[in-house]
Structure 1
Amino acid sequence: MAKYFTSIKVVLYLLAIIIIQPIVFNALDLNRAIILEIAGHSIFIIIGLIFIRLSFYFDKRDNRN
């Protein structure tokens, strides 16, 4: 799993989370309910892991040709 996290894309994703997540949470008022807050954080993390894995898959596939 470590090979997925060696890219600059990971840093960009984490930066996007730091900037975008508080804006989304305040806009949707998710800070009030602890369950929604935990679910929101989990969704952001899962989406990020999916993007990282897909980018690794497509980079690997492009490098074979």
Structure 2
Amino acid sequence: MAKYFTSNKVGLYLLAIIVVQPIVFKAFDLDRSIVIEITGHSVFIIIGLICIHLNFYFHKNKNHHK
């Protein structure tokens, strides 16, 4: 799993979470319930992990076909 992560990808993902997540939570009023808040944080983390994994997968395939 460590091969999927580079410092740039993780840094950009953390920056996106810091900027986007509060905006989304305020827009949809997700701060009402602790369960919804925990679920929202989990969804953001899972989406980020999937994006990093897909980025690695497609980048690996692109380099493989050269």
Q: Same fold (TM over 0.5)?
A: yes
TM-score of the superposed pair, with normalisation by structure 2: 0.91
Moved over 6 A (4+): none
Q: Is 1:15 equivalent to 2:47 in the alignment?
A: no
Matching residue of 1:39: 39
Matching residue of 2:24: 24
Residue-by-residue CA offset, 1:16-59 (whole Å, 9 max, x unaligned) = 11000001101111111000000000000000000000000000
Question: How large is the RMSD of aligned CA atoms in angstroms?
Answer: 1.0
Alignment length (residue pairs): 65
Identical residues among aligned pairs (%): 69
Q: What's the CA shift for 1:14?
A: 1.1
Q: State the distance in 1 between where 2:58 and 2:2 align.
A: 17
Structure 1 residues 54 and 7, CA gap change in structure 2 (3 angstroms): farther
Q: What's the CA shift for 1:8?
A: 1.6
Q: State the distance in 2 between where 1:32 and 1:24 align.
A: 13
Extract unaligned runs of 5+ from structure 2: none
